[in-house]
Amino acid sequence: MKNNIAYCFVDPINSTFSGITRYTHDASNILRAKGINNVILSKNRGESLNDFRLRVSKFSEGFRNSSFVLEAPETLASSIYVSAEVKTHIRLHFSKVFGAFIEGKYIDRRFQEEEQRALNKAKFVSSPSVIGAELAKRFYTIDEVSIFQNPLNDGALGLEFAGRDFDVGFVGRWQALKGVFYVKRIVAERPDLRFIITADAHTRKVLRSFPNVRFVMPEEKALVYLRSRCVIVPSYFETASMVAIEAVQAGAKVVTWKHIGVCEYLDQPYVYKANPFDWKSLLSCIDSAASDTGFPVDSAVKVIESFNEDFLKGLSEVISGKVYKTDLLDESIFASKIEFEFLNGIVMKEKKELSSFERKFRKLRKHPIMFFRDAYKKKKGHVYVPSVRAGAEAQPLKNDSRRNKGRRRANIFCDITDWSTLRLHDYGRKDKEFRAVFLFDKEQYKSFLYKELLEKIYAHEDFMPLRRSFSGRGYLNFESFPSCMPVARVVDRVSFNERCKITNISVLFLFDCYDEKIFEFFRSASPFVKLVAVYTEEKSKWPSSFDSIDCLIVPESFSFDSKVPKLYLYSSLSYMDLIIRKVMQEYIPRSPNYLLPLYGKKRYFPEIESFDRKRWAGVLIVKKSDVSRKLVQSSFNGFVALLTNAVVELYVREDVYLAYKSVCDDIYIDGNLAFFLQRSLKDGYMYDVKEV
């Protein structure tokens, strides 16, 4: 079956509300209707980006040096691990790098470098619009880009015509890049227009006070196309806009900016184009489109058919090795040639966000009574919440002072999305030997599993390190860690003050982190913190190295060849809180800190009485020979090998024994000291050496 596959689409988003997902399924259906066998590889829910990339690479391994073609979007670089011997086609949609540029946010250089590497491997690159290709060339090195429009599967809407009883429609996620700033402003300033909008819970909350808005579920977006006279696409940038094409297919006019990709193909009466980010021009286009009752439905159907035919022709030309530029582009209605620098941070410029002081001053100037009333309530520990019912008195939320909020937030160690700008909470040096912090993936933490587990851990009120008021937690974006960059370079980008905050923690528990470089990062930032890797599920791929991990907590079915200082296996997650408590108990300071016999004869000798427990991790008794001269001349591994052979007896402090408990248990069984000495010496422990 696999040998019959001629084409493969890769979808790293896999969301019903994503333009990439819609394009992927429509393109797949168009090819299948022409008898071209193809498949779609979609990222599964809960699957990490790296695991998905590996799955794509593994799938493509059998198609080296064949006519098979794998198509992937440039965003998220899902084809980065695919062999250069596999024909790869990169379709330019809209990279997250572009989104960060337009929003005025920090551009993640890791993603940019990975996407460039994927583009370098690709044999074919195409874009649905010229302006999309030009923007991509501002961020990436691309030689030739073919231009042809996205297809649209016939009959994709699947609903009967219901009558156009709404003036304006909007389809899209309620995100800044989708131009929701303009949507809200239009709804507020034009109560004479009726709106129909796809809305999730957040959108309904934002627009619920406007009576001229009708909400439908995102899955019912076809109703918006069929019941509105015009559909607005106020996005700050779109390489094509699947929403615009779907609206035209359903017989609705489209209002958008001149620089949006679809404007290279269509003009009135299908698309009404406003000057980029010109409010008056946008309103004028909406009025014209909503009042114009004429729409050539038959011509619109032919337009969509021409897009599909052009897609097939363009894809065929590209695969044959040619650079194709569609004939459907009309130079007279070409997308507006705007300056790309103008897009930089345009979202923040348009929103005109005010500082906290500016907002308070504006409130004082416009509503002085409300300003002083709310200030008084906040001072008393109440938050003023206006009631939805007209004329009803507002009910404050009692015992919700800003001081209490700050106290709750004090337990949050970090909330890291961008690893180039780390901001950590400083718990201080007091009781730092007992401090535990639990770190989770920012997206995965939303699952009930982690929350329930934390609640069980917090239930150990009798053990201070696990109390809710004392322990901390944090959120990291594991996938955004710049793994392609040397860890030392990532650490250098973190200020000295932020690194010092890590040293005020005794144990870091990282849950379901499969990138060994993240452990290496924390180990390099603070060699004193203990790193515990906790895995709540079985995976086919584990970290390639456990060198930076001090303790591993995994399912009992887990098997691997590497050694770790401490290993805990569990049969059920219901025991996880008890294991974490045990691990924490073993890491806290011991008093008294006994000297335990680990290897050789168990005997008493006078030097034990004067043993300096603060300086030495233990006592090494070695044979008196010429081994000392050989040790000086050896490499580290050679040094450990010679030292292991020379050891007669070994005594270690109790805290050292507990830190390497699994390894020490193995020593009692097989008597092999090599790994214990190698790991403990690398971790910085020193031994008092005696010769006999």
> What are 477-515's pLDDT values in tens digits?
888 888 888 888 888 888 888 888 999 999 999 998 888
Spell out the domain ranges in the chain. Answer: 2-122, 166-296+327-333, 356-392, 410-587, 595-691
Residue 46: pLDDT band (50, 70, 90) is confident
HSE-up (13 A, CA, CB side) for residue 490 = 23
Q: What percent of the chain has pLDDT over 90?
A: 35
Q: Give the per-residue pLDDT at 594.
A: 86
Measured distance CA(444)–CA(49) in Å, rounded: 13
Query: What is the tens place of the pLDDT at every residue in 128-142?
Result: 999 999 889 888 889
Q: Which of 186-200, 343-357, 525-539 has the lowest mean pLDDT?
A: 343-357
Beta strands in 20-100 (DSSP E): 38-42, 69-73, 87-91
pLDDT over 70 (residue 626): no
Considering only residues 375 and 645, tell me which one the structure prediction assigns the higher pLDDT. Answer: 645
Residue 359: pLDDT band (50, 70, 90) is low
Say if residue 537 is exposed, middle or buried (CB neighbours under 10 Å; 0-12, 13-18, 19+). Answer: exposed
CA end-to-end distance (rounded Å), the chain: 71
pLDDT over 90 (residue 585): yes
Amino acid found at 240:
A
Q: For residue 435, list its beta bridge partners.
A: none
Q: Give the per-residue pLDDT at 255.
A: 96
Measured distance CA(332)–CA(690) in Å, rounded: 90
Measured distance CA(313)–CA(173) in Å, rounded: 32
Residue 526: pLDDT band (50, 70, 90) is confident
CB 139 within 8 A of CB 344: no
Encoded tokens for 585:
């108990």
Query: What is the tens place of the pLDDT at every residue in 539-557?
Result: 656 777 788 899 999 888 8
CATH number of 166-296+327-333: 3.40.50.2000
pLDDT over 80 (residue 270): yes
Q: What are phi and psi of 359, to 5 degrees?
A: -65, -45
Considering only residues 572 and 88, tell me which one the structure prediction assigns the higher pLDDT. Answer: 88
Considering only residues 448 and 522, tell me which one the structure prediction assigns the higher pLDDT. Answer: 522
Q: Give the per-residue pLDDT at 331.
A: 58
Query: How high does pLDDT run on average in the chain?
Result: 83
Provide long-range contacts, Cβ within 8 A and 24+ apart, for 579-586: 579/553, 580/457, 580/466, 580/509, 580/532, 580/534, 580/553, 581/457, 581/460, 581/463, 581/466, 583/507, 583/532, 583/551, 583/553, 584/436, 584/463, 584/465, 584/466, 584/507, 585/463, 586/658, 586/659, 586/661
pLDDT over 70 (residue 186): yes
Residue 405: pLDDT band (50, 70, 90) is very low
pLDDT over 50 (residue 384): no
When mean pLDDT is compared over 162-171, 286-295, 578-587, 608-617, the highest value belongs to: 578-587
Considering only residues 452 and 284, tell me which one the structure prediction assigns the higher pLDDT. Answer: 284
Name the percent of the chain in helix, strand, coil, to the closest 5.
45, 15, 40
Helices (H) and strands (E) in the chain, counts: 26, 23
Q: Give the per-residue pLDDT at 538.
A: 67
**Any idea which fold 2-122 has?**
Rossmann fold (3.40.50)
pLDDT over 60 (residue 387): no
Residue 604: pLDDT band (50, 70, 90) is confident
pLDDT over 60 (residue 382): no
pLDDT over 60 (residue 278): yes
pLDDT over 90 (residue 559): no
Q: Give the per-residue pLDDT at 219.
A: 83
Q: Give the per-residue pLDDT at 557.
A: 80
Q: Give the per-residue pLDDT at 333.
A: 53
- Same CATH fold assignment for domains 166-296+327-333 and 410-587: yes
CATH number of 410-587: 3.40.50
Q: What percent of the chain has pLDDT over 70?
A: 86
Q: Give the per-residue pLDDT at 349.
A: 56
pLDDT over 60 (residue 388): no
Residue 491's Cα: distance from chain center in Å? Answer: 20
Q: Give the per-residue pLDDT at 378.
A: 61
Q: For residue 10, list its beta bridge partners.
A: 41
Cβ within 8 Å of residue 374, ≥6 positions away: 384
Query: What is the tens place of the pLDDT at every residue in 441-465?
Result: 887 877 767 888 888 898 888 898 9
Average pLDDT over residues 244-259: 91
How many residues are present in the chain? 692
Query: What is the tens place of the pLDDT at every residue in 306-331?
Result: 999 999 999 999 999 899 999 888 65
pLDDT over 80 (residue 395): no
pLDDT over 70 (residue 238): yes
Average pLDDT over residues 21-47: 92
Average pLDDT over residues 48-67: 89
pLDDT over 90 (residue 302): no
Considering only residues 525 and 155, tell me which one the structure prediction assigns the higher pLDDT. Answer: 525
What number of other Cβ atoms are within 10 A of residue 528's Cβ? 13
Residue 623: pLDDT band (50, 70, 90) is confident
Considering only residues 210 and 642, tell me which one the structure prediction assigns the higher pLDDT. Answer: 210
How is 580-600 classified by DSSP, letter by letter? HHHHHHHHSPPSS--EEEEES
Cβ within 8 Å of residue 596, ≥6 positions away: 651, 652, 653, 654, 657
